[in-house]
Amino acid sequence: MDRKTVIWGIFACLLLAGCNDQKVIEDLAIISMMSFDQTDDPTGDLKVTASFPNLTSETSNEEQIIETIANSKKEAEDLLSSKTKQQVVNGQIHSIILGERFARNGVKSVISSMERDQEIGSQVKVVVADQEGTEIIRTEVVPDIGSYIDKMLKTESEKFTIPETDIHHFSRDYYDDGIDPIAPLFRKQDGRIVLVGTALFRNDRYVDHLDLIQSKILMLLLSKVERSELTIKMAQEEKIRNVHFDYVTSHRNINVYKKGREVDHIKIVVKMRGSVLEDTGEESISSTKEIHELERLVARHIEHKAEDIIEILKENQTDSLGLGQYIRQSLSYEEWRTLDKERLIETTPVSVEVDVTIKDTGMSQ
Amino acid sequence: MSEKIAPFHLAILIYMIQSGVTLYKLPRMLAVNFGTNGWIMVLIVSFVAGINIFLISLVNRFRKGESVFEIMEGLIPRVVLAPFYILLALIWSILALLVGKDYILITQVLAFQNSSLLLLYSIVLILAFYLVIKDMYTISKTTTIFFFLTIWMTFLLIYHIPYSSVMRLTPFIFKDGTHSIRGWIEVYTAFLGFELVLFLFPYIDEKKPKWFLSVYVGHVITTIVYTLICLVSFMYYSFEQLKLISFPVLNLIAYVEIELIERIESLVFNLFLMKILVTVVMYLWAAKLLLHRGMPSVNEKWLAPILILVAFFITFRVDVVYELAPWLLIFGFAAAGIAIGLPILLLFILWIRRMRNG
């Protein structure tokens, strides 16, 4: 054999090796979305529903929905496989829906199973349903529910209405002792999928939720916000005054004040800057004095809302804002170790200060 | 004599030998062994490795244009040294093959699960074989190309900055770690590779008197790349999470989502092969050199196949991740011992020779 034959032989081996692990797309049932619900079924406590967009026929867009009862995610995948003629693969899951009852009992098993599974990327979105998760998947309004919810999450998290939560974010915050995870909350309403707000977790258990407006304020308290808007309703002499505040930037600062070696209180300072694009109030806003007055009103309003949220967090002993991380930053290792972290948020006073700057009032005075 | 390696290529070569498959696991190793803010340990271990390189630079300073073999044989007869050479050759070739196998095993966690380990492993070995039978100058040039094909991956870290937070670093330094000797060895092995410069002396363009600086430059590149990756890992993952993730760097790469290309990680993982290949090839090359010196009667053409086959059969039964770990630890430990011991031995020999002559 001369050298050329050897090289061509090796070349052929290398290329042919590609044919070894082949997967024919028509033979695959590609899961686009999965939901997990708690059941009282004797065969298992996990009801798993999966939706498969139909890729085999070009004409119909129908998707297939299969449901099974199992004890774990992987077992469910096996059982799903036995209910379809194709091989079930999970590499293209866009999001997972956690049913309310399931989420209340702790979701760690599913999240760690997703993390361990090498086929599943850590960008898979985590969503909580206000009812049974399977209800959401069974919504028939849209052809492919998986990518629909995916798009919806993307647009809303870009508007800073809801947190961007994927497997990585969820488990990162779950394992961090200074923050608790959060996730978007959905509901099926009149046959449509509606974004309800943010689900708050305590460790891996879903404990409470915030509505959409609160959820927007939570985002302000949570991190830097680049662009969003708020409609503020204020009672003004018998009428309700609507002010639409469109902010371009919002910065948040968290300061931990200590008295001796103990944490005395926490102050969250939010600095916002934006424009007023709608005002149903009686007077026009033209003088600097009126602008300042409006700034003050908007700020007070947001402060009140924020205090409500912190009240909710304290009631549920959950640290969705990651205040624990800031407390940790100000303590020594021994102090942090001995701290009662379960009751940390409940016992620490938190105040919010909002500073609003109205840079313009749109096209009219 | 063929062309010599320029300092620039030497720096790249050193970096490429050093950075290898350990990088995949490095952030977790640091978190488990050294605890919170374990990334700082990269700098400390790098400094220790720097001292190790300084020892080698002393060997370079005191030798009089001799190669390592000539230094040793100046005091001890070759017959006595032959078993020592062969032992070193064996350790290094086994280490090289273990590194290759580790890479394939990790790759198979992610893809090609159904392909046989042997097939993929053989492909790596064939590639390594074809490179190792070339002369040093060609290997160095190839390495330079590989370097430019892979170094850009470090910049993917920019993608993770928005997802990172200083708060996750925690203010605590080295708390919650196991602080074991094992941890030190594991992290030290991530820096190994610079010791091969001892055998490169005759192949280096020594016209520039300060050429040895480029070994430090290579080491500094490694340190920078490692530090950046580990720092970002500690900010991107929460501490307890990092301890649980088998291959944090793979997860980092897999998180990158670019609009234009889906699944960029499949491209990046495969490019990693080049880094691994350089490590494997250089250790095999040094082993080949040692074997040739130890058994000069064997035809030079057969040295590489002999080494690969012997190491292949010794490590044949190791084919699962958890079995490989202790092997890697033992041979990593041996290699670390060689990296520290060999320069000291050489300095000692040089000193005795000087005493005798003087």
Q: Annotate B203-258 with DSSP letters as a single string.
A: GB-TTSTTTTHHHHHHHHHHHHHHHHHHHHHHHHS-HHHHHH-S-HHHHHHHH---
Query: Rounded to an integer, what distance in angstroms lies between the CA atom of residue A307 and that of residue B232?
Result: 34
In the structure encoding, which two tokens stand for residue B84, read together?
């020592």
Of the ranges A166-170, A258-262, B276-280, which one carries the lowest mean pLDDT score? A258-262
Q: Which of B119, B163, B239 sits opposite A17 (nearest CB)?
A: B119
In the structure encoding, which two tokens stand for residue B129, read together?
């074989």
Query: Rounded to an integer, what distance in angstroms lies between the CA atom of residue B194 and that of residue B56?
Result: 9
Q: How does pLDDT run across B75-98, given as a tens digit for each residue?
A: 899 999 999 999 999 999 999 999
Contact B167 A123 (CB under 8 A): no
Residues of B in Cβ contact (< 8 Å) with A331: 171
Angle at Cα B112 formed by Cα B107 and Cα B117, nearest 5°?
A: 75
Quick check: A246 contacting B, CB < 8 Å? Answer: no
Residue A106 region, left (φ>0) first, then alpha (ψ -120 to 50), else beta?
left
What's the confidence (pLDDT) of residue A55? 66
- Number of Cβ pairs < 8 A linking chain A and chain B: 64
Range A82-104 average pLDDT: 89
For residue B354, count other CB atoms closer than 10 A to its CB: 10
Query: Rounded to an integer, what distance in angstroms lies between the CA atom of residue B307 and that of residue B86?
Result: 10
Contact B112 A177 (CB under 8 A): no
- The shortest C-alpha distance from A10 to chain B (Å) reads 9
Answer yes or no: are the C-beta atoms of B31 and B242 closer than 8 Å: yes
**Of the candidates A213, A218, A194, the residue with the CA atom closest to the CA atom of residue A318:** A218
What's the confidence (pLDDT) of residue B256? 86
In the structure encoding, which two tokens stand for residue A198, read together?
């943010």
How far lies B279's CA from each of A135, B135, B226, in Å?
Answer: 54, 16, 16
Q: At what angle do helices B264-294 and B136-150 cross, to 10 degrees?
A: 160
**Of the candidates A173, A358, A185, the residue with the CA atom closest to the CA atom of residue A276:** A358
Query: Where is pLDDT greater, at B240 or B261?
Result: B240
Q: How does pLDDT run across B190-231, given as a tens digit for each residue?
A: 999 999 999 999 999 888 888 999 999 999 999 999 999 999
What's the confidence (pLDDT) of residue B184? 92
* Residue owning tokens 């030998």: B17
- The upper half-sphere exposure of residue B296, i.e. CA atoms within 13 Å in the direction of its Cβ, equals 6
Q: Which residues are paired to A278 by β-bridges?
A: A244
Of the ranges A39-48, A104-113, B77-86, B251-260, which one carries the lowest mean pLDDT score? B251-260
- The shortest C-alpha distance from A170 to chain B (Å) reads 11
Q: Which of B109, B114, B237 sits opposite A20 (nearest CB)?
A: B114
Q: In the structure, what pLDDT confidence band is assigned to residue B262 with cuts at 50, 70 and 90?
A: low
The verdict on domain A223-365 having CATH code 3.30.300.210 is: yes
How would you label B136-154 residue by residue, b for 16+ Cβ within 10 Å and e otherwise? Answer: bbebbebbbebbeebbebe
- Average pLDDT over chain A reads 87
What's the confidence (pLDDT) of residue A58? 58
Quick check: A329 contacting B, CB < 8 Å? Answer: yes
Largest CA distance in chain B: 70
Compute chain B's Rg from CA coordinates. Answer: 21
Query: Rounded to an integer, what distance in angstroms lies between the CA atom of residue A274 and that of residue A227?
Result: 9
Query: Rounded to an integer, what distance in angstroms lies between the CA atom of residue B214 and that of residue B205?
Result: 12
Residues of B in Cβ contact (< 8 Å) with A10: 126
Q: How does pLDDT run across A279-337, given as a tens digit for each residue?
A: 887 777 778 888 888 899 899 999 999 999 999 999 999 999 999 999 999 999 999 99
Q: What is the DSSP letter of B5?
A: B
Query: Rounded to an integer, what distance in angstroms lies between the CA atom of residue A224 and that of residue A249?
Result: 8
Residues of B in Cβ contact (< 8 Å) with A13: 123
Q: How does pLDDT run across A5-19, given as a tens digit for each residue?
A: 888 887 887 777 667
Residues of B in Cβ contact (< 8 Å) with A326: 167
Contact B110 A328 (CB under 8 A): no
Q: What is the DSSP letter of A241?
A: E
In the structure encoding, which two tokens stand for residue B309, read together?
């086959």
Quick check: A209 contacting B, CB < 8 Å? Answer: no
**pTM score, whole prediction:** 0.91
Contact A328 B239 (CB under 8 A): no
Query: Rounded to an integer, what distance in angstroms lies between the CA atom of residue A323 and that of residue A346?
Result: 11
Kindly tell me if the per-residue pLDDT of A61 is higher than 70. Answer: no
Q: Which of A21, A326, A329 sits opposite B114 (nearest CB)?
A: A21
Strands ordered across the beta sheet of A228-236: A228-236, A239-259, A262-279, A350-360
CATH 3.30.300.210 region(s) of chain A?
223-365
**Of the candidates A66, A291, A99, the residue with the CA atom closest to the CA atom of residue A188:** A99
In the structure encoding, which two tokens stand for residue B149, read together?
């094909």
Quick check: A228 contacting B, CB < 8 Å? Answer: no
Q: In the structure, what pLDDT confidence band is assigned to residue B187 with cuts at 50, 70 and 90?
A: very high
Q: At what angle do helices B136-150 and B117-132 cross, to 10 degrees?
A: 130
For residue B53, count other CB atoms closer than 10 A to its CB: 22
Best probe of the B interface among A14, A89, A325, by most B CBs < 10 A, is: A325
In the structure encoding, which two tokens stand for residue A186, read together?
């959905």
Query: Rounded to an integer, what distance in angstroms lies between the CA atom of residue A48 and that of residue A18?
Result: 34
Chain B residue whose CA is closest to A180: B238
Answer yes or no: are the C-beta atoms of A243 and A297 closer than 8 Å: yes
What's the confidence (pLDDT) of residue B347? 95
- The shortest C-alpha distance from A223 to chain B (Å) reads 11
Distance of CA A360 to the CA centre of its chain: 32
Of the ranges A37-41, A151-155, B263-267, B280-284, which one carries the lowest mean pLDDT score? B263-267
- Note the CATH number of domain B7-357: 1.10.4160.10
How far lies B101's CA from each of A13, B107, B220, in Å?
Answer: 19, 10, 27
> What element of type H or E holds B146?
helix B136-150
Q: Which residues are paired to A235 by β-bridges?
A: A240
Helix, strand, or coil here: B34?
helix
Residues of A in Cβ contact (< 8 Å) with B35: none
Best probe of the B interface among A111, A253, A323, A333, by most B CBs < 10 A, is: A333
Residues of B in Cβ contact (< 8 Å) with A175: 238-241, 244
Answer yes or no: are the C-beta atoms of A202 and A228 closer than 8 Å: no
Residue B33 backbone dihedrals phi, psi, to 5 degrees: -80, -35
Best probe of the B interface among A327, A329, A334, by most B CBs < 10 A, is: A329
| Residues 6+ positions from B47 with CB-CB distance below 8 Å | none
- The shortest C-alpha distance from B43 to chain A (Å) reads 22
Helix, strand, or coil here: A175?
helix
Pairing of strands A350-360, A262-279: parallel
Q: How does pLDDT run across A18-30, given as a tens digit for each residue?
A: 676 677 777 888 8
Quick check: A15 contacting B, CB < 8 Å? Answer: no
What's the confidence (pLDDT) of residue B10? 94
How would you label A26-42 residue by residue, b for 16+ Cβ within 10 Å and e otherwise? Answer: eebbbbbbbbbbbbeee
Q: Which of A21, A118, A174 sits opposite B115 (nearest CB)?
A: A21
Helix count and strand count (H, E) for chain A: 12, 14
Kindly tell me if the per-residue pLDDT of A140 is higher than 80. Answer: no
Q: Which A residues in the span 77-136 are in contact with B, Cβ-Cβ below 8 Å? A: 115, 118, 121-123
Contact B241 A17 (CB under 8 A): no
**Of the candidates A36, A155, A38, the residue with the CA atom closest to the CA atom of residue A93:** A36
Contact B240 A177 (CB under 8 A): yes
- The shortest C-alpha distance from A329 to chain B (Å) reads 5
Residue A358 backbone dihedrals phi, psi, to 5 degrees: -95, 115
Q: In the structure, what pLDDT confidence band is assigned to residue A68 with cuts at 50, 70 and 90?
A: very high
Residue type, A200: L
Distance of CA B343 to the CA centre of its chain: 17
Query: Where is pLDDT greater, at B1 or A249?
Result: A249
Strands ordered across the beta sheet of A33-38: A63-70, A46-53, A33-38, A95-98, A125-129, A182-189, A192-202, A205-211
**Of the candidates B83, B93, B92, B129, the residue with the CA atom closest to the CA atom of residue B295:** B83
